[in-house]
Structure 1
Amino acid sequence: MSSNTIFLILLAAIIAIMMAFFQYYYKNKDRSRTDIILTFLRFLSVFSLLVLLINPKIKSNVIENVQPVLNVLVDNSTSIAYAKAEEKVTSFVSEIKGNKALNEKFDINFYAFSDILKEQDTFAFIILETNIVKPLQELQALHKEIVAPTILITDGNQTQGSNYAYYKAKYPIYPVVVGDTLQYDDLKITQVNVNSYANLNNNFPVEIFVNYDGSENVKQNFTVSQNGKVVFRKVLNFSSENSSQKVQFNLEANRIGIQNYTCTISPLNNEKNTVNNSKNFSLEVVNEQAKILVLSAVNHPDIGMISRSISSNKQHKVVVENNLNKNIQYKDYQLIILYQPNSKFKKIFEDIETVKANIFVVTGAATQWNFLNSAQPFFTKKYVSKIESYVSIFNEDYDEFINEDIQFADLTPLKGYFGEIKFKVPHKTILFQRISNFETKNPLLATFSLDDRRGAILLGSDIWKWRMQKHVEDNSFKQFDNFFNKLVQYLSSTRKYDRLEIEYAPFYYANQNVLIKAQYFDATYVFDNEGSLVLTATNKATKETTKIPFTLMGNHYEVLFKDLKPGDYSFSVQTEDKSSIKYGSFLILPFDIEQQLSTANTKDLKLLATSSGGDFTHIDKSEKLFNKLTNDNRYKIIQKSKEKIQSLIDWEWLLALTLLSLSLEWFIRKYYGKI
Structure 2
Amino acid sequence: MSTVTVLYIILALAVSAAIAFFYYRQKSTKNWYIFALCRFLSLFILAFILINPKVKHFKYTVAKPVLPVLIDNTTSISKIADSSEINNQITQLLNSQELQEKFDVRPYTFGTSLETGSVGSFKEKATDISNALTTIDGIYGNTIAPVVMFTDGNQTYGTDYAYAASKLNQPVYTVVLGDTTQYEDVRISKINVNNYSYYKNEFPVEVFVNYKGTQKRNTSFKITSGNNTIYQENIAFSPENSSKKITTYIKANQLGVIKYNASVSAILDEKNTDNNSTQFAVEVLDEQSKIAIVSDFIHPDLGALKKSIESNEQREVTIGKPADFVNSLNDYQLIILYQPSNSFQELFQQISNLSKNTFVVTGSRTDWDFLNNAQSDFYKRSTSIEDVQPVLNSGFSTFITNDVPFNQLPPLKSYLGNVTINGDYDVLLQQKVRNITLEDPLLITLENNKRRVGVLFGEDSWRWRAKTYLETDNFEEYDQLISKLVFYLASNKKKERLQVEAKNFYYGNVLIDAAYFNKNYELDANVELDIIIKNKETGFSETFNMQFKNAYFEFENNSLAPGSYSYTVTVKNENISNSGSFTLIPYSVEDQFYNADYKGLKDLSEATNGQVFLLNEQKLLLNELVSNESYKPIETSKETISSIISWKWLLFILAAVLAVEWFLRKYFGMV
> 1:182: Cα distance to partner?
1.8
Give the SS at the match of 1:267. Answer: coil
In the TM superposition, residue 97 of structure 1 has moved relative to its aligned partner by 3.0
1:320-469 alignment to 2 at 5 Å?
332=332, 334=334, 336=336, 347=342, 355=351, 358-359=358-359, 377=378, 399-403=397-401, 405=403, 408=405, 414-415=410-411, 426-428=425-427, 447-449=444-446, 451=448, 452-456=452-456, 462-464=463-465, 466-469=467-470
Q: 1:520 to 1:415 in 2, by over 3 A?
A: closer
1:25 partner letter: Y
Query: How far 1:617 moved relative to its partner?
Result: 2.7
Of the three residues 116, 119, 125, the one matched with 2:116 is 119
Q: CA separation in 2, counterparts of 1:51 and 1:215?
A: 88
Aligned to 1:160: 157
User: AA paired with 1:557?
Assistant: F
Larger radius of gyration: 2
Residue type of the alignment partner of 1:39: R
Residues 582-620 of structure 1 deviation map (CA, whole Å, 9 limit, x = unaligned) = 23142363x643233222123432333344443333222
AA aligned to 1:644 is: E
Match of 1:3 in 2: 3
Distance 1:668 1:621 in 2: 80
Please identify, of 220-229 and 493-502, the stretch whose mean Cα deviation from structure 2 is larger: 493-502
**Alpha-carbon distance in structure 1 between the residues aligned to 2:87 and 2:139:** 25
Using the TM superposition, give the Cα deviation of residue 78 of structure 1 relative to its aligned residue in structure 2, in angstroms: 1.8
1:533 Cα deviation (Å)?
Answer: 5.1
Kindly state the Cα deviation for residue 277 of structure 1 after the two structures are TM-superposed: 1.6
Is it true that 1:556 corresponds to 2:549 in the alignment? no
What's 1:657 paired with? 650
Q: How far apart, in 1, do the equivalents of 2:398 and 2:361 lie?
A: 18
Task: Give TM-score scaled by structure 2 length.
Answer: 0.77
Q: Which amino acid aligns with 1:646?
A: I
Cross-structure match for 1:568:
564
Q: Return closer, same or farther for 1:186/1:641 CA change in 2, 3 Å cut-off.
A: closer
User: In the alignment, is residue 599 of structure 1 matched against residue 595 of structure 2?
Assistant: yes
Rounded to whole Å, the distance in 1 between the matches of 2:426 and 2:136 is 42
1:12–1:51 CA contact under 8 A, matched in 2: no
When residues 358 and 84 of structure 1 are mapped into structure 2, their CA distance, relative to the original with a 3 A threshold, is: same
Q: SS of the counterpart of 2:141?
A: coil
| Matched-pair identity in % | 26
Distance 1:563 1:333, change over 3 A: closer
Structure 2 match to 1:214: 213
What do residues 615-652 of structure 1 show as CA deviations (whole Å, max 9, x unaligned)? 3332223344445445656x3437566561321335xx
Map of 1:497-508 to 2, 5 A cutoff?
497-507=495-505
Change (3 A) 1:225 1:623: same
SS in structure 1 opposite 2:71?
Answer: strand
Report matched runs for 1:616-635 at 5 Å.
Answer: 616-629=612-625, 635=630
Structure 1 residue runs without a partner (length 5+): none
> Contact 1:358–1:453 (CA<8 Å) still a contact in 2?
yes
- Paired residue for 1:139? 136
**Where does residue 179 of structure 2 map in the other structure?**
180
Residues 211 and 237 in structure 2, CA contact (< 8 A), matched pair in contact too: yes
Q: Which residue of 2 aligns with 1:542?
A: 538
Partners of 2:20 and 2:37 within 8 A in 1: no
Tell me: CA distance 1:48–1:607, structure 2 relative to 1, closer, same or farther (3 Å): same
CA pair 415-149 structure 1, distance change in 2 beyond 3 A: farther
Say if 1:67 and 1:105, in contact at 8 Å, map to a contact too: yes
Moved more, 125-134 or 420-429: 420-429
Distance 1:550 1:624, change over 3 A: closer
**Secondary structure of 1:414 counterpart:** coil
Q: 2:56 aligns with which of 39, 47, 58?
A: 58
Cα distance in structure 2, aligned partners of 1:579 and 1:643: 62
Tell me the CA shift for residue 117 of structure 1: 0.7
Aligned 8 A contact 1:499 1:580 in 2 = no
Q: 1:2 to 1:382 in 2, by over 3 A?
A: farther
Q: Is the contact made by 1:16 and 1:46 (CA closer than 8 Å) also made in structure 2?
A: no
Matched AA of 1:616: V
Are positions 1:130 and 2:123 aligned together? no
Per-residue CA distance 1:270-319 (angstroms, 9 max, x = gap) = 3222221221222333323252639697977x876665444332133455
TM-aligned CA distance change 1:110 to 1:546, over 3 Å: closer
After superposition, the C-alpha distances for 1:185-244 in whole angstroms (9 at most, x for unaligned) are 222111122223334443322222111223333333322233433333333332222221
Distance 1:431 1:159 in 2: 41
Query: Whole-Å Cα distance in 2 between the matches of residues 417 and 560 of structure 1?
Result: 39
Between stretches 193-202 and 151-160, larger displacement belongs to 193-202
Aligned partners of 1:444 and 1:458 also within 8 Å = no
Amino acid at match of 1:258: V
Q: C-alpha separation between the residues in 1 aligned to 2:270 and 2:478?
A: 39
Shift of 1:178: 0.8
The alpha carbon displacement at 1:75 in A equals 0.5
1:75 aligns with 72
User: How many angstroms apart in 2 are the aligned matches of 1:499 and 1:219?
Assistant: 58
CA distance in 2: counterparts of 1:209 and 1:133, whole angstroms: 25
Q: CA deviation at 1:183?
A: 2.1
Q: Secondary structure at the match of 2:595?
A: coil
Q: Per the alignment, in what secondary structure is the counterpart of residue 655 of structure 1?
A: helix
- The aligned amino acid for 2:265 is S
- Alpha-carbon distance change, 578 to 100 in structure 1, aligned in 2, over 3 angstroms: closer
Which residue number in structure 1 is paired with residue 249 of structure 2? 250
Query: Superposition RMSD on alpha carbons, in Å?
Result: 4.9
- Structure 2 SS opposite 1:165: helix
Partners of 1:51 and 1:370 in 2: CA distance: 82
TM-score by length of 1: 0.77
Is the Cα–Cα contact under 8 Å of residues 46 and 654 in structure 2 kept in the other structure? no
Deviation digits for residues 59-102 of structure 1 (CA, Å, limit 9, x no counterpart): 65x66655543321110112211223324422442453355665
CA contact (8 A) 2:465 2:475 kept: no
Q: 1:124: Cα distance to partner?
A: 2.1
Q: Out of 419-428 and 461-470, give the one that drifted further.
A: 419-428
Name the CA distance, whole Å, in 2 between partners of 1:211 and 1:567. 28
Task: Tell me how far apart the structure 2 counterparts of residues 4 and 479 of structure 1 sit (CA, whole Å).
Answer: 68
327-336 vs 231-240, greater mean Cα deviation: 327-336
Shift of 1:350: 7.9
Q: Decide which of 580, 583, 586 is 1:583's aligned counterpart.
A: 580
1:353 to partner: Cα distance: 7.3
Equivalent-residue separation in structure 2 for 1:668 and 1:292 (angstroms): 105
Give the secondary-structure state (helix, strand or coil) at the position aligned to 1:25. Answer: helix
Displacement after TM superposition at 1:664 (Å): 5.9
Q: How many residues align?
A: 643
CA distance 1:498–1:178, change in 2 (3 Å): same
- Identify if the C-alpha distance between structure 1 residues 412 and 524 changes in structure 2 by more than 3 Å, giving closer, same or farther: closer
CA contact (8 A) 2:108 2:116 kept: yes
Three-state SS of the structure 2 residue aligned to 1:122 is coil
Structure 2 residue ranges without an equivalent (≥5): none
Secondary structure, aligned partner of 1:241? coil
CA contact (8 A) 2:325 2:347 kept: no
1:478–1:439 CA distance, 2 compared to 1 (3 A): same
C-alpha distance in structure 2 between counterparts of 1:161 and 1:204, whole Å: 30
Instruction: Say if 2:561 and 2:584, in contact at 8 Å, map to a contact too.
Output: no
